[in-house]
């Protein structure tokens, strides 16, 4: 019945598709944004992070004393510990423009925390004076207007010091949208504006036989610093953004809007469809169709629209996501839980819409078909 009523079918399908797209796209952007907030953790891949005692999340590192690395190293359960510098500073391009960058200083000896994917150059060259690795985002952000993208051998200034590009790597985007610039810890201290304390964190590998959790707790007890395992730091950062920013409310409102629009459009259209077909449904009832059969028909039609609408919405969201990933923004991450959750929500919306029709049909007297 519904499939033959093209206008209503298209309207229902449109409503469900729009709802699915809105929920999937917005939730994926939200997940992507959360991923950006944890980019330091995913890019540097340390098993334990030791930070200042009041640090709650990865984008708000308070400086430590250089000697704190030694204190961490002296704790039982620590295999090794290296210093790390992370800070936002400015790069001065050849045309005189300043661009913000995320400067990362890695331990000179071990280069622990180095980027996982090198697109060009040799990491060992970082040990040469004034050397830096830039990430793929820097190719866009640090190019002069009309000029070529920066490449190996090019140079620019960081705090009046020459920084020469010796390699290009791939890195997850940071929440602030600035490109990552990797160098050694010692070199980073030269590039960064001088402060009393310069150490951002210490990256730690547990000793043999120690778990990351046990090592972190031991470090906290013995140094008074805060130690997070990789997962603890990741989720602490996510939780912080949930609690302290309007991002979840903003995205949550849009997702809620998707659900409401889905329920409103599909519910109203489905109800109108049932009302307009009341005589036919009454005729079927008079001919001996039971409530169960008619309810089953309505549920089947609602689910058919739901599955189709979800499929189309999913395709549209994936198309958007593919474009976003190619462009690099907006952030887009779709973990499997997301399509699964949206699928269940769409199912719920369709069943709710069917339920409205079912209530009408079950109360329908078959005698209605004889009334003029």
Partner 1 sequence: MSQDAATQPTAIQVSGLTKAFGKGNARTMALKDTSFDAREGDLQLIVGPSGCGKTTLLSVIAGTLVPDTGEVIVFGEPLHAMRSAAVTRFRRRYIGFIFQQFNLIPTLTLAENVSIPLLLAGSGTSKAERAATAMLDRVGLAGREKNHPRQLSGGQQQRVAIARALVHDPRLLICDEPTSALDRETGHQIMEILRDIARKPGRSVIVVTHDPRVYEFADRIAEMEDGRVLRQLEGAAMADVSL
Contact set with partner 1 (CB under 8 A): 1, 3-5, 279-280, 282-290, 293, 365-367, 369-372
Q: Which of 70, 75, 86, 112 is nearest to 201 (CA)?
A: 86
Query: Rounded distance, CA 66 to CA 82, Å?
Result: 10
Of 94 and 362, CB closest to partner 1: 362
Number of CB atoms found within 10 A of residue 153's CB? 9
Of 249 and 359, CB closest to partner 1: 359
CA dist list (Å): 366 to 235, 275, 363, 370: 58, 14, 9, 8
Two structure tokens written together for 281: 């449904």
Of 96 and 287, CB closest to partner 1: 287
Of 118 and 369, CB closest to partner 1: 369
Query: Rounded distance, CA 265 to CA 247, Å?
Result: 27
CA dist list (Å): 291 to 117, 146, 269, 281, 287: 62, 70, 21, 10, 12
Shortest reach from residue 270's CB to partner 1, in Å? 16
Shortest reach from residue 9's CB to partner 1, in Å? 10
Of 66 and 365, CB closest to partner 1: 365
Of 348 and 368, CB closest to partner 1: 368
Shortest reach from residue 1's CB to partner 1, in Å? 6
Shortest reach from residue 371's CB to partner 1, in Å? 7
Shortest reach from residue 367's CB to partner 1, in Å? 4
By the 8 A CB rule, do 159 and 89 touch?
A: yes
Sign of CA dihedral 153, 155, 161, 167: negative
Shortest reach from residue 269's CB to partner 1, in Å? 16
By the 8 A CB rule, do 186 and 148 touch?
A: no
């Amino acid at each position: 019945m519904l499939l033959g009523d093209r206008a209503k079918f298209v309207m229902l399908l449109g409503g469900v598709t729009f709802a699915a797209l809105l929920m999937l796209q917005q939730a994926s952007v939200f997940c992507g944004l959360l991923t950006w907030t944890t980019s330091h953790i995913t890019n540097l891949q340390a098993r334990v992070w030791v930070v200042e005692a009041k640090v709650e999340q990865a984008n708000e590192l308070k400086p430590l004393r250089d000697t704190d690395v030694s204190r961490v190293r002296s704790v039982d359960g620590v295999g090794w510990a290296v210093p790390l510098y992370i800070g936002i500073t400015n790069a001065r391009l050849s045309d005189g423009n300043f661009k913000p960058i995320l400067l990362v200083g890695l331990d000179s000896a071990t280069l622990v925390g180095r980027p996982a994917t090198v697109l060009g150059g040799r990491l060992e060259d970082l040990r040469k004076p004034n050397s830096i690795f830039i990430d793929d985002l820097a190719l866009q952000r640090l190019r002069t207007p009309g000029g070529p993208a920066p490449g190996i051998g090019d140079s620019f200034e960081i705090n009046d010091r020459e920084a020469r590009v010796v390699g290009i790597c791939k890195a997850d985007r940071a929440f602030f949208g600035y490109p990552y610039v990797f160098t050694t810890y010692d070199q980073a201290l030269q590039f960064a504006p001088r402060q009393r304390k310069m150490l951002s964190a210490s990256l730690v590998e547990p000793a043999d036989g120690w778990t990351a959790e046990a090592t972190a707790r031991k470090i906290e007890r013995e140094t008074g610093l805060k130690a997070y395992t990789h997962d603890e730091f990741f989720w602490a950062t996510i939780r912080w953004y949930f609690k302290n920013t309007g991002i979840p409310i903003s995205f949550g409102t849009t997702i809620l809007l998707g659900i409401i629009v889905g329920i409103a459009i599909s519910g109203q259209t489905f109800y109108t469809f049932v009302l307009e077909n009341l005589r036919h449904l009454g005729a079927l009832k008079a001919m001996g169709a039971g409530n169960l059969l008619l309810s089953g028909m309505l549920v089947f039609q609602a689910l058919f629209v739901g599955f189709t609408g979800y499929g189309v919405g999913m395709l549209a969201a994936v198309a958007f996501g593919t474009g976003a990933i190619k462009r690099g923004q907006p952030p887009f991450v779709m973990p499997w839980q997301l399509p699964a959750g949206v699928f269940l929500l769409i199912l719920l919306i369709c069943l709710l819409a069917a339920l409205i029709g079912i209530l009408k049909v079950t109360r329908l007297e078959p005698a209605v078909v004889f009334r003029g």
